Structure formats: C-alpha cells, structure tokens
Amino acid sequence: MSTDRRDLLYFIMLAGPLCIPHRQCVISSGAPLHIRGALIRLLKEPMRADARKNYSHLLAVARDVITEHGADASLRDIARKADVGLGTLYRHFPTREALLEALLRASLDELTQKAGELETSSSPDEALVSWFREAVAFTHSYRGIVDLMAAAIADPDSALHASCTTVRSAGARLLLRAQAEGVARADIDGTDLFALIGALGWVGDQPSFAPRADHLVDIIAGAILTSRSGSAVREE
C-alpha cells in the first residue's frame, strides 16, 4: 500500500467516515497537505461500474424499506435485504443522513424546480398554494423525515442542510412574490413557511390526525393568503 493510502486510511480512522454520496467530502483545512492531497486524488477517481451498481441497488432497496418502516429503518436490514455486507452500505452511505439525502435529493430538486416553473406560469397566490401543497405532500413520502429536516435546516454540517435550505429559499421566493402583489400576509417569511410545511408533515404522520391532513392544509393555506376567494386555496 502506498504511503498516501496508508496516511489516508489512518486519517479516516482518526476523523471518522468522510465520504458522502456522489463522492463529496469535507476535508479539514487542518489536515496535513499530503493527506489532503491523497483525499482529493481519491475523490477524483471515477466510481467503478460495480460500485455504481451497488450504489443504485442499495438506493432502490433503501427506498422500499424506508417507505415501509420510516426514516428510522434499520440500516442493517437495508444491507441484508440488498444482499450486501453492512460495510458495503457504509462505504457508500457513512451515515443515515447521507443515505436519506441521496434518497430525497431528487424530490427536493423537483420541488425547487417546480417553484421556478410556477413562478412564471401561475398567479402569485395560486403558485404559492400549489407549491405549498406539493411540499407538504413530499413530507409524507417517508415517515419521520420531518424530524430530520427540522434538525438539518439548523445544522450546516448535516448532509441534508443544503437541500433543505434550497427548498426553503424556493418557497420564500414564491411567498415574497405573493406578498409583493398583496395576496399573502406580510407577517410571515420563508422560515415560517418551511416550519408550517414541517408541522403539516408531522400531522400527516399521526394516524389519528392523518384523515384531516388535507383539510388542515386548506386552513393553513387560507391563513397564509389575504383572501380566500378563487381557486388558490382549495383544489377541487
């Protein structure tokens, strides 16, 4: 084994797992230059075909398991059902957050893209409420993700932080547009909107409240807008 790789492995043993999906990595500025260089060279290496296959397979299995059991599903169960060792799973996804970030990234990106589309194709009130509904529906995709999103939005080191802040910013733009037109109340901001999405997501996770979830979305949408007229509040 080369000196670079020995140093790299030693550094990882000291610092803990560093790699996250798509071979992104946080490299400490305090790490010795030759170790940082080894990390950078390793991260630039393309993922082998078998590694890409394992990555895609693990994501597919994880999606099924987490859909059934929620965000706190056992990583060991995911590895077992994927017929790979736990070490293989951790090589691709060193933390639960890293795995969830990989699963949720596409949906979060779609929410951000949807906000941009609505901004140019719909009236300010309709765009805001339509996006708000989609964001709440997204929180119901996996039970328990609201807790993770709430923690991630406040933690810059979280694997989910960047995706959550991007979604929050997308919603804030729609809200500001509606406020500028006088169709949304002026005393809330993007952070409030994100919190409301999380709160309604939590409601949908509760068996006793879930049957009323859509009705509660209507109530909150009506409270956000300055008028309940038109088709913006309720989708028939």
Burial profile 24-54: b = 16 or more Cβ within 10 angstroms, e = fewer: eeeeeeebeeebbebbeeeeeeeeeeeeeeb
Per-residue pLDDT of 217-235, as tens digits, reads 999 999 999 975 445 555 4
With 90 as the cut, is the pLDDT of residue 172 above it?
A: yes
Q: Model-level pTM greater than 0.85?
A: no
Q: What are the sequence ranges of the domains in the chain?
A: 1-46, 47-94, 98-224
What is the arithmetic mean of pLDDT over 127-148? 91
The residues, any chain, with a CB within 8 Å of residue 99's CB and separated by 6 or more, are 21, 58, 62, 75, 78, 89, 93
CATH of domain 98-224: 1.10.357.10
Query: If you ran DSSP here, which 8-state letter would residue 48 be given?
Result: P
Residue 111 has what pLDDT? 93
With 50 as the cut, is the pLDDT of residue 16 above it?
A: no
Distance CA 201, CA 145 (A): 9
What is the arithmetic mean of pLDDT over 110-124? 94
Residue indicated by tokens 């993770």? 148
Distance CA 179, CA 154 (A): 25
- SS3 for 161? helix
The residues, any chain, with a CB within 8 Å of residue 6's CB and separated by 6 or more, are none
Class of domain 47-94: mainly alpha
- Highest mean pLDDT pick, 53-57, 61-65, 122-126: 122-126
More confident residue, 105 or 234: 105
Distance CA 27, CA 7 (A): 14
